[in-house]
């Protein structure tokens, strides 16, 4: 199921495309969801790019360990995907297309060592348990303020909106 598709308005209709596949974990504990909070006040799902030869479940487990310090996360069924198209940074390409696959997860135990990428450390990403409504309100506030708006904000807000609609 496609949870959202986002294309930068300044992209030409055709161009050279570089693609990346990513995975994101959706881990609930009761009514709370484990997300990564940034210093700007927004939230994103744990996840990232799939490495060559890596399965989607293995990539989800690796990302939970690296970003949240969680081990023994069980990766369940896929919930859906998002597709983003933005200007490519690489000079040989015009469009960067990322497909993110979201998976329902369960379990998880402390004990992993967090290994943040440089941009994640600079954003001071920390794992937090929050409700979908709390995360949605925070993302909308950051999006409305325009300060520190990261490219993932539209994607993650759309998935949070989808999750909120599932409760009705």
Q: Helix (H, G, I), strand (E, B), or coil: what is residue 146?
A: coil
Domains and CATH numbers, the chain: 2-166 (3.90.79.10)
Q: Helix (H, G, I), strand (E, B), or coil: what is residue 162?
A: helix
pLDDT average, residue stretch 154-162: 95
In this predicted model, what pLDDT tens digit does every residue of 123-140 receive, in sequence order? 999 999 999 999 999 999
pLDDT of residue 167: 63
Torsion of CA 3, 161, 120, 19, to 10 degrees: 10
In this predicted model, what pLDDT tens digit does every residue of 57-83 receive, in sequence order? 999 999 999 999 999 999 999 999 999
């Amino acid at each position: 199921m496609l949870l959202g598709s986002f294309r930068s308005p300044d992209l030409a209709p055709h161009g050279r495309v570089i693609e990346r596949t990513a995975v994101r974990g959706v881990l609930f504990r009761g009514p709370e969801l484990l997300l990564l909070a940034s210093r700007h006040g927004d939230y994103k799902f744990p996840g990232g790019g799939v490495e060559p030869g890596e399965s989607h479940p293995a990539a989800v487990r690796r990302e939970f360990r690296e970003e949240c310090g969680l081990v023994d996360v069980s990766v369940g069924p896929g919930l859906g995907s998002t597709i983003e198209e933005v200007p490519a940074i690489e000079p040989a390409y015009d469009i960067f297309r990322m497909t993110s696959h979201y998976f329902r997860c369960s379990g998880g135990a402390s004990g992993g060592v967090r290994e943040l990428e440089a941009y994640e450390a600079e954003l001071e990403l920390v794992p937090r348990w929050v409700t979908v409504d709390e995360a949605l309100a925070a993302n909308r506030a950051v999006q409305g303020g325009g300060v520190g708006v990261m490219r993932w904000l539209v994607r993650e807000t759309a998935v949070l909106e989808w999750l909120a609609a599932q409760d009705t």
